[in-house]
């Protein structure tokens, strides 16, 4: 990328043909040609250059989805980016592309709950076994490697528990045993971390979150290196996991302000974190405390932090925690995050899922906050009045 990340987002993909700042939405099922000769030319081009946007049928994409793919490929500094209808679709495509019956997967214990259900339960019926490692003890990763291990799946930081891992060490282990790697990088996005650049084979982002930024679209992206491209390309074509043009347009539009929004999310989150760090009954799950393992691992690999954080609240009465959450006025109650608004969730079993290494005492409770783009002083005032319910 010749220009900076920020400048690139503002100047890429302008449509001078139609004289519009943003490219138009091209909706199609049939891609029409002037002759059979033109169809064959396009098919030949696609065979020679499968990342070039040469389509003979719209399941493969249109110019609108192609533009988004090229933007994301630049941002990820990857060989190519595939786009999917949801963020979890990108998780599925990554795993489906490189594993077969008899293979084994090793995944981080605090992966997104649907990712755990897919790997631990669903894939079992296809004779694909998954084991889980402790993100703070990578010996638990290496000791589970067998000759059948095909993929190490990382989510960083850990879903809901916000564990930051030594990514370089994971890559070294994978290379030592010639195992493929995938990382869910939704929290950081390539604005703060580029997994392909540091050695991962696949990088997943839920475009539903910060890419879109407005809580009104679903999508996912899967960035890949050259090593796995052909496998993912084949899997994507046969499954039909392809983002539609309307969603691609909205995500492209959202990307224009990705840097501005993430900078603001980060600054707001730092102010809220500073306020919450004063309370002895709250452990902040955010890279804020210097000297901690999580801070060191975050600082080692990331250039910044997003607006998503967790609170580990020490409280004897769970109803007090529920009252704290329910009394917040400026935080919406709902799943997902990454939009302009602040959100809160009380993390119970249905959110955290089955965990081998997450052991919470009965008097400790998890709450997740997404710090949005509101005035941070208003958010802090709201949290302050709600904290009175913790007893």
DSSP, residue by residue, 112-149: -HHHHIIIIIGGGGGT-EEEEEBTTBTHHHHTT--TTE
Q: Is residue 9 assigned to a domain? A: no
Q: Are 137 and 169 in contact (CB under 8 A)?
A: no
| β-strands 343-347, 129-133 pairing | unpaired
Query: Once rounded to an integer, what is the mean pLDDT over residues 65-79?
Result: 97
Gap between the Cα atoms of 93 and 340, Å rounded: 28
- CA-CA-CA-CA dihedral for 377, 294, 188, 380, to nearest 10: -10
The number of angstroms, rounded, from the C-alpha of 306 to the middle of its chain's C-alpha atoms is: 12
pLDDT computed for residue 13 by the predictor? 76
Q: Show the 3-state SS of 316-378.
A: CCHHHHHHHHHCCCCCEECCCCCCCCCEEEEECHHHHCCCCCCCCCCCEEEEEEECCCCCHHH
CB atoms within 10 A of CB 234: 12
CATH code, domain carrying 385: 3.90.1150.10
pLDDT computed for residue 127 by the predictor? 98
Per-residue burial over 140-156, b if 16 or more Cβ lie within 10 Å, else e, is bbbeebeeebbbbbbbb
Q: Are 118 and 92 in contact (CB under 8 A)?
A: yes
CB atoms within 10 A of CB 47: 9
Using 50, 70 and 90 to split pLDDT, how confident is the model at 8? confident
Q: Are 180 and 150 in contact (CB under 8 A)?
A: yes
Residue 16 has pLDDT above 80, yes or no: no
26 against 103, higher pLDDT: 103
Q: Is residue 122 assigned to a domain? A: no
Q: Is residue 156 assigned to a domain? A: no
Q: What radius of gyration, in Å, describes the C-alpha atoms of the chain? A: 22
Gap between the Cα atoms of 277 and 157, Å rounded: 19
Cis amide bond preceding 157, omega within 30: yes
Which residue shows structure tokens 């920020």? Answer: 6
Using 50, 70 and 90 to split pLDDT, how confident is the model at 291? confident
Secondary structure class of 108 (helix, strand, coil): strand
Q: Is residue 221 assigned to a domain? A: no
What is the rounded average pLDDT for all residues in the chain? 94
Using 50, 70 and 90 to split pLDDT, how confident is the model at 19? confident
DSSP state of 59: G
Q: Render pLDDT for 209-228 as a digit per residue (tens, 0 to 9).
A: 999 999 999 999 999 999 99
Q: Is residue 249 assigned to a domain? A: no
Gap between the Cα atoms of 117 and 354, Å rounded: 9
Structural domain tally of the chain?
Answer: 1
Query: Once rounded to an integer, what is the mean pLDDT over residues 190-203?
Result: 98
Using 50, 70 and 90 to split pLDDT, how confident is the model at 115? very high
Residues sharing a CB contact under 8 Å with residue 74, sequence separation 6 or more, in sequence order: 1, 8, 12
Q: What angle do CA 64, 3, 252 make, to 5 degrees?
A: 20
Residue 268 has pLDDT above 60, yes or no: yes
Q: Which domain holds residue 346?
A: 258-389
Which pTM value belongs to this model? 0.94
Q: Is residue 206 assigned to a domain? A: no
Q: Is residue 236 assigned to a domain? A: no
Gap between the Cα atoms of 141 and 131, Å rounded: 9
pLDDT computed for residue 349 by the predictor? 67
Q: Is residue 210 assigned to a domain? A: no
Among 186, 175, 182, residue whose Cα is nearest residue 93: 182
pLDDT computed for residue 353 by the predictor? 67
């Amino acid at each position: 990328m010749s220009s900076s990340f920020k400048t690139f987002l503002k100047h890429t993909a302008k449509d001078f043909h139609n004289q519009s700042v943003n490219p138009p939405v091209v909706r199609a099922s049939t891609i029409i040609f002037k002759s059979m000769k033109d169809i064959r030319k396009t098919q030949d081009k696609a065979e020679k250059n499968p990342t070039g946007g040469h389509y003979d049928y719209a399941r493969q994409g249109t110019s609108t989805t192609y533009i988004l793919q090229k933007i994301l490929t630049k941002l990820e500094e990857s060989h190519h980016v595939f786009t999917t209808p949801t963020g979890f679709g990108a998780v599925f495509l990554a795993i489906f592309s490189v594993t077969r019956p008899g293979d084994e997967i090793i995944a981080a214990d605090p992966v997104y709950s649907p990712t755990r259900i897919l790997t631990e339960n669903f894939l079992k019926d296809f004779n694909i076994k998954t084991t889980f490692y402790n993100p703070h003890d990578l010996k638990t990763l290496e000791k589970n490697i067998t000759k059948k291990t095909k993929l190490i799946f990382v989510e960083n930081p850990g879903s809901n528990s916000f564990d930051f891992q030594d990514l370089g060490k994971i890559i070294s282990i994978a290379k030592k045993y010639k195992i493929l790697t995938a990382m869910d990088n939704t929290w950081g996005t390539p604005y703060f971390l580029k997994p392909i650049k540091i050695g991962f084979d696949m990088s997943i982002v839920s475009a539903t979150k910060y890419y879109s930024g407005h809580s009104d679209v679903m999508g996912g992206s899967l960035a890949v290196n050259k090593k796995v491209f052909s496998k993912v390309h084949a899997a994507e074509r046969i499954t039909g996991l392809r983002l539609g043009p309307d969603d691609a347009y909205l995500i492209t539009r959202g990307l224009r302000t990705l840097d501005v929004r993430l900078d603001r999310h980060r600054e707001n989150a730092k102010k809220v974190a500073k306020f919450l760090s004063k309370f002895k009954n709250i452990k902040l799950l955010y890279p804020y405390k210097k000297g901690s393992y999580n801070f060191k691992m975050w600082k080692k690999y990331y250039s910044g932090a997003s607006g998503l954080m967790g609170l580990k609240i020490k409280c004897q009465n769970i109803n007090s925690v529920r009252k704290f959450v329910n009394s917040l006025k400026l935080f919406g109650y709902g799943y997902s995050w990454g939009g302009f608004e602040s959100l809160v969730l009380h993390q119970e079993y249905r959110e955290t899922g089955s965990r081998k290494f997450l052991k919470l005492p009965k008097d400790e409770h998890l709450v997740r906050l997404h710090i949005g783009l509101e005035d941070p002083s208003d958010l802090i005032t709201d949290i302050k009045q709600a904290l009175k319910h913790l007893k």
